[in-house]
């Protein structure tokens, strides 16, 4: 049993990560900005606490001493670069053994050295958000050892409303692939329990569910 702090615990990825961790017998600190909005979330081995992932002191108070922390955050109102850089900075300074940060498939390469977000046909309006995520991952890359971080994303996208199939595969960029949030949570918890990838970006796709 591990102690796991999950930031963005009220969001789609975070909520499924809380459930998966709880089902596996872990002790979960579910971190949300306003616990009064999540009154039904606390339960067996799940404690809800207030925290802001962009604030170092807040992250330390919520996560320090845990075996692992997971960041699964999105704020449509924030400047993406400021938000993801601050979050990565705060999370990478947390006193945890393992750090997982949910990031974007568009940071993956379409060709050697060319990220999808840099390809000529990539929609300009999405670039600032993607660059914000990328800047956050750059902060992780610059983190000194022994921070055992992993950036993890879908290989394509999430399958909204998708079921838990119980399987996933590690993949390169595969924009046709979809993974349910429940299966993504399995990948997250597998990397917490048995870390296989370190200080890199790994992507996961859902079992055989492929959209045309
Ligand atoms: N194709 C892809 O690669 C792809 C697709 C979709 C999403 N993603 C990424 O996956 C991650 C998770 O997305 P999601 O779909 O789960 O998002 P979501 O459902 O919108 O949840 C995001 C959560 O972040 C929390 N949050 C926002 N600001 C915060 C702060 N300052 N401190 C703490 N928590 C904060 C919010 O919590 P409260 O409002 O409850 O406080 C919210 O519950 C994001 O990084 C997103 O960019 C990737």
pLDDT per residue over 69-90, tens digit each?
A: 999 999 999 999 999 999 999 9
How many angstroms is it from 1 CA to the middle of ligand 1?
26
pLDDT of residue 210: 43
Residue 175 in contact with ligand 1 by CB distance below 6 A: no
Calculate the alpha carbon distances from 66 to 82, 96, 125 in Å. 26, 5, 38
CA distances from residue 193 to 36, 38, 63, 69, 163 in whole angstroms, order as listed: 30, 26, 17, 12, 23
Instruction: Tell me 112's DSSP state.
Output: T
Q: Which tokens hold the place of 60?
A: 């330390």
Looking up tokens 């924030």 gives: 78
pLDDT bin (cut points 50, 70, 90) of residue 211 is: very low
Domains and CATH numbers, the chain: 3-105+132-206 (3.40.50.720)
pLDDT of the residue at 207: 73
The answer, yes or no, to whether any atom of ligand 1 lies below 6 A from the CB of 72, is yes
**CA-CA distance, 161 to 176, in Å (whole number)?**
17
Nearest to 4 by CA among 35, 32, 33, 26: 26
Strands 178-179 and 98-102: unpaired
**Helix 12-23 and helix 181-193, axial crossing angle in degrees, nearest 10:** 50
In total, the chain counts a number of residues equal to 212
Query: Could you report the per-residue pLDDT of 103-138, keeping only the tens digit for each?
Result: 999 999 999 999 999 999 999 999 999 999 999 999
Closest residue by Cα to atom 48, ligand 1, is 104
- Quickly state the pLDDT bin for 212 (edges 50, 70, 90): very low
Is the pLDDT assigned to residue 14 strictly greater than 70? yes
156-196, pLDDT tens digit by residue? 999 999 999 999 999 999 999 999 999 999 999 999 999 99
- Average pLDDT taken over every residue of the chain: 96
For residue 55 and ligand 1, the question of a CB distance below 6 A is answered with: no
Check if 122 has its Cβ closer than 6 Å to any atom of ligand 1.
no
What's the CA-to-centroid distance between 74 and ligand 1, angstroms? Answer: 3
**Interatomic CA distance for residues 11 and 21, integer angstroms:** 15
Residue nearest to atom 40 of ligand 1 (CA): 10
Indicate which residue's Cα is closest to atom 36 of ligand 1: 8
Using CA atoms, how far apart are residues 81 and 91, in angstroms rounded to an integer? 15
CA of 165 to the centre of ligand 1 (A): 22
What are the φ/ψ torsions at residue 135 (nearest 5 degrees)?
A: -65, -35
């Amino acid at each position: 049993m591990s102690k796991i702090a999950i930031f963005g615990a009220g969001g789609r990825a975070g909520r499924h990560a809380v459930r998966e961790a709880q089902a596996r017998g872990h002790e979960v600190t579910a971190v949300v900005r306003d616990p009064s909005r999540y009154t039904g979330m606390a339960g067996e081995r799940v404690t809800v606490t207030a925290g802001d992932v962009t604030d170092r002191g807040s992250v330390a108070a919520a996560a320090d001493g845990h075996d692992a922390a997971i960041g699964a955050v999105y704020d449509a109102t924030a400047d993406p670069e400021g938000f993801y850089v601050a979050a990565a900075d705060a999370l990478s300074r947390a006193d945890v053994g393992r750090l997982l940060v949910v990031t974007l498939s568009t940071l993956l390469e379409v060709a050697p050295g060319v990220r999808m977000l840099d390809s000529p046909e990539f929609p300009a309006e999405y670039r600032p958000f993607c660059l914000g995520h990328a800047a956050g991952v750059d902060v992780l890359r610059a983190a000194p050892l022994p921070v055992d971080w992993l950036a993890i994303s879908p290989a394509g996208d999430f399958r909204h409303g998708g079921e838990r199939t119980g399987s996933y595969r590690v993949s390169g960029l595969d924009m046709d692939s979809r993974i349910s949030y429940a299966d993504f949570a399995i990948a997250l918890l597998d990397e917490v329990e048995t870390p296989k990838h370190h200080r890199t970006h790994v992507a996961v796709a859902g079992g055989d569910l492929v959209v045309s």
